Structure 1
Amino acid sequence: MEKLIVNSKIALEPLKFSHAFQMFQAIDQNRRFLSPWLPFVQDTETQEDTESFIQSVTSVAAKDRDEVFVIWYNDRFAGLIGFKDSDRVNRKTEIGYWLIESMTGKGIIVLSTKALIEFAFSHLKMNRIVIRCGVGNHKSSAVPKRLGFQMEGIERDGEKHQNRYIDLEVYSLLRKEWANGL
């Protein structure tokens, strides 16, 4: 796949090694904004750290790989979105996302997530999609709520951030709910 066109302003491009510089610069310039909710930020100290992440994603065999996309907004790097921890046997996956601060409030994540939901149900034949958000990350949790996901509960100590754990709100959407327009 070359690009997934969301609309005239937003395109999702499969993550490539050539994105490392822009991605690292975005993380480095947005550390204060990203750090409270994204544990990888503290471990991303150099461009080589970003290159290692990209290598870990792209080196997996295509049939087993979780698709991760760079989000472009008006041809500018906006963030990342993708699938993670996909279980192809049970046809379920998780969507994760992040944006740099200057790209928030434009509807980018809602529209990009909606495109990935359609892709997951139509092309990947998934039955269930999960989104996890840190408790208190209201901007992030607004996305699954707006897209008709159901809150299943709180995953206690669900994610390690530096020397502590944070609780995660767990939202899910089933294929039949999406098909019924929920």
Structure 2
Amino acid sequence: MIQLSSDTYLRPLSAEDTPLIFNEIIANREYLREWLPFVDFTQEVEDTEAFVTSTLESGEKQFVIYHHEQFVGLIGFTRTDAANKRTEIGYWLAEAAQGNGIVTKAVVELLHLAFGQLDFNRVQIRVAVANTKSRNIPEKLGFCFEGIERDGELLVDNTFTDLAIYSMLKKEFGG
């Protein structure tokens, strides 16, 4: 478990989290689907079960986020390239938990893990250009803005969005 504050923590993802994740996605469907294409493909608990199983089998570290003893989101590593010591951090948070600095604190903890125990050299965050709330996180933490990946992700309603690419190198992380 990774404690973010007195009332907020991260815990490694487990199969038992499936119903919590599914229910939170359903409860926040309209809010989350603007930026997260997987939301529209999450129709049954089995869809979330397949995601959780795949994630656990991949070995990539993912964490559930708890705030006031309630599950509120996910954060973790994805698109990991161990040979080149690089990974990406992805996250989502329920609407009601927004604005508390939860994801910012969680990203800092994952940077400690990535650059410390996991010995990565590069961590990247990709976020839709228009998603200013999410872009504020790497910007606030001093990530380097590298540029725009044009039409980098297919969102709902068959609409492409440009992605802002941010990175931080181990030598840049102040801890």
Band the TM-score falls in, shorter-chain normalisation: over 0.9
Identity %: 44
Whether the 8 Å CA contact 2:124–2:165 is kept in 1: the answer is yes
CA RMSD of aligned residues (A): 1.0
Q: What residue in structure 2 maps to residue 91 of structure 1?
A: 85
Amino acid at match of 2:86: K
Asked if residue 109 in structure 1 is aligned to residue 133 in structure 2, the reply is no
Whether the 8 Å CA contact 2:4–2:102 is kept in 1: the answer is no
- For 1:48 and 1:72, the matched residues in 2 are separated by 22
Q: What residue in structure 2 maps to residue 38 of structure 1?
A: 36
The superposition leaves residues 59-82 of structure 1 with CA deviations (integer Å, 9 ceiling, x where unpaired) of 23xxxx110100011211110000
- For 2:2 and 2:82, the matched residues in 1 are separated by 21
Q: What residue in structure 2 maps to residue 123 of structure 1?
A: 117
- For 1:143 and 1:120, the matched residues in 2 are separated by 17
Q: Where do residues 39-58 of structure 1 align in structure 2 (5 Å cutoff)? A: 39-58=37-56
Asked if residue 153 in structure 1 is aligned to residue 151 in structure 2, the reply is no
Q: Post-superposition, which runs of at least 4 consecutive aligned residues in structure 1 deviate over 3 A?
A: none
**Partner secondary structure for residue 173 of structure 2:** helix
- For 2:57 and 2:143, the matched residues in 1 are separated by 31
Specify every segment of 5 or more residues in structure 1 that has no aligned partner in the other structure, as ranges: none
Paired positions, count = 174
Specify every segment of 5 or more residues in structure 2 that has no aligned partner in the other structure, as ranges: none
Q: Structure 2 length normalisation: TM-score? A: 0.96
CA shift, 1:7, in A, is 2.4
CA shift, 1:141, in A, is 0.2
Asked if residue 67 in structure 1 is aligned to residue 61 in structure 2, the reply is yes
**Partner secondary structure for residue 6 of structure 1:** strand
Q: What residue in structure 2 maps to residue 165 of structure 1?
A: 160
Amino acid at match of 1:145: E
CA shift, 1:6, in A, is 2.1
